[in-house]
Chain A
Amino acid sequence: MPARHAKSKSPYTLDREYPGAFEGETVTRRRFMTVGGQAAGGIAAASFLLPALGFAVGPIFKGTPVRWESVGPEDMFNEDNYIPVILTLDPTIGEAGKTTVYVRKKNLAIDTDPYDKTTPYIAISTRCAHLGCPVRWVDAAERFICPCHGGVYDLLGRPVSGPPVRPLDRFYSRVNKAGEVELGPRFSVNSELRRFSPRYPGETVDGIGQYLYPSRPGAQKL
């Protein structure tokens, strides 16, 4: 009989002459102890690694509470120019959690985009859409200008020069019963001013960009 037709040897049984192996045994005691010891070590390590990892990664999935903050009476704002107001993004860290927002009453002659019909006020975020530096509204030029890398935006916040990849973010606005303008969460817009859930600066939301740069799981547009 050729050797290849011989009954194949079991890797663990007596025919291999392992010390302490019984005939017909599929797993030797030595093998069992090795695997068992490694499994116990793996379980012990996972029992502290997995909770620690979840603890560090958890904030990604935490929802952002929707805050509305009053920024001033209605007659403080007009249709022709931006008024800077201070908005609190994170109330827990003092001055660092505040940001400037430029607010203008909606002007149907200028704000002709079809996507944002309900917002009574245009609230432009000062976070540059390039890398997040604070932009400033320059009245004489009628442009938002970023000090860091030369991003320039027009009256509606659309980029006209420099590296920004999308228009400036905006904030939801509403008027409360006392006649005060309230600003809500941030949202991003694409080059046609269509609304998207907030993205980080530097991330385009045009075309495939909206899928390449997903928003935070906890942050959705209203």
Chain B
Amino acid sequence: MPKLPAPPMPSALQAPPPRPGDPDAKAAPVDHAVTAGHTVVDWVDERTSMSGAARWLMFRKVPKGTNWFYTLGSATMFAFLSQAVTGVFLAMYYQPDANGGAYESLRHVTNEVFLGQFVRSMHKWGASVMVVLVFLHMGRTFFWGAYKYPRELNWVIGVVLLILTMVMSFTGYLLPFDERAYWATTVGININGTGPLIGPYLSDFLLGGPEIGATTLSRFYAIHMLIVPGAIAALIGAHLYLVAKLGTTAPPWSKAEKSEELREAEA
């Protein structure tokens, strides 16, 4: 049944038409707010031309059949952002002091700081979540053949991001400086040392001395919070740029639509 048009509002409730030459005399406050927003965005855009880049990045064509599996990459990125934010706040309390201070500062965060245990647990469990998501994202890319031409470079960047995520997990594990951290790092550094020729030197570089000590802890802390996060952020930028530039692949089961001429020829 066709829908009937809504009856007109009574004239008493209708907004009066604007007077000629006085466009926003009767504009509502919300209209002023919208106008102010437009003005600010226009001011920035006129000086940066950023709206074109934003449109290029966000309003892309995606293939037919795009589904929830395509969100695994974004999910990994949000896991990284969560790690970055919680990590910054943990760094406000953490002391990389091998002589008991590191463990004590984290005990203080866990037991005494408001929401400290929650934020620390987010960081701790989020690390595992991020590793799991990285592998799911990688598996999706692999099994759907999305690493093939012309996306090989993005696969390579992704593998470097995987390695950097592992470096984050390894260096972060030492920071509580309890028994588990100490022995797990001992084993990890010694596994790394079994590489022939350069393995022992790499172990020396990581340890900063003959044994795990104060230098090792501050070294791992600097790698964990300065070097690797910066590299990960930069590479995520490159990864996303290539995704936007090259587009996403269709799922392997979706078939290409026949062109109009081919369909006509078959008929």
Q: Which residues of A contact B (CB under 8 A)?
A: 56-57, 59-60, 62, 64, 89-90, 92-97, 130-134, 148, 198-203, 212-216, 219
B76 contacts the other chain (CB 8 A): no
Task: Using CB atoms, name the residue of chain A closest to B196.
Answer: A212
A94 touches B200 (CB 8 A): no
B196 touches A60 (CB 8 A): no
Which residue of A94, A95, A148, A201 contacts B193 across the interface (Cβ within 8 Å)? Answer: A201
B215 touches A59 (CB 8 A): yes
B190 touches A131 (CB 8 A): yes
B163-202 near A? 1/0 per residue, CB < 8 Å: 0000000000000010000110011011101101101110
- Distance in angstroms between the alpha carbons of A144 and B75 in the assembled complex: 47
Task: Give 6 pairs: A residue, B residue, CB < 8 Å, sorted on A.
Answer: A56-B205, A96-B99, A96-B212, A133-B186, A200-B190, A219-B210
A162 to chain B, nearest CB (A): 14
- Distance in angstroms between the alpha carbons of A96 and B212 in the assembled complex: 8
A101 to chain B, nearest CB (A): 14
Residues of A within 8 A of B177 (CB): 96
Q: Does more than half of chain B's interface fall in helix, strand or loop, or is it mixed?
A: helix
Residues of A within 8 A of B154 (CB): none
Task: Using CB atoms, name the residue of chain B closest to A94.
Answer: B99
B98 contacts the other chain (CB 8 A): yes
- Distance in angstroms between the alpha carbons of A216 and B206 in the assembled complex: 13
B37 contacts the other chain (CB 8 A): no
B249 contacts the other chain (CB 8 A): no
Q: Does more than half of chain A's interface fall in helix, strand or loop, or is it mixed?
A: loop
Residues of A within 8 A of B193 (CB): 200-203, 213
Are A216 and B210 CB-contacts (below 8 A) given A93-B98, A94-B100, A203-B193? yes
Residues of A within 8 A of B189 (CB): 132, 200
Which residue of A59, A96, A132 contacts B98 across the interface (Cβ within 8 Å)? Answer: A96
A202 touches B98 (CB 8 A): no
- Distance in angstroms between the alpha carbons of A214 and B199 in the assembled complex: 9
- Max count, chain A CB within 10 A of own CB: residue among B99, B100, B190, B201: B190
Residues of A within 8 A of B190 (CB): 130-132, 200-202
> Which positions 181-238 of chain B face chain A at CB distance < 8 Å?
182-183, 186-187, 189-191, 193-194, 196-197, 199-201, 203-205, 207-215
Residues of B within 8 A of A94 (CB): 98-100
Task: Please give 13 more A-B residue pairs, beta carbons under 8 A apart, in addition to A92-B98, A203-B193, A214-B201.
Answer: A60-B201, A90-B211, A93-B214, A94-B98, A96-B177, A97-B211, A131-B187, A198-B210, A200-B203, A202-B193, A203-B200, A213-B197, A216-B204
- Distance in angstroms between the alpha carbons of A195 and B194 in the assembled complex: 20
A77 to chain B, nearest CB (A): 25
Residues of B within 8 A of A59 (CB): 204-205, 207-209, 215
A57 touches B98 (CB 8 A): no
Residues of B within 8 A of A198 (CB): 210
A92 touches B197 (CB 8 A): no
B191 to chain A, nearest CB (A): 6
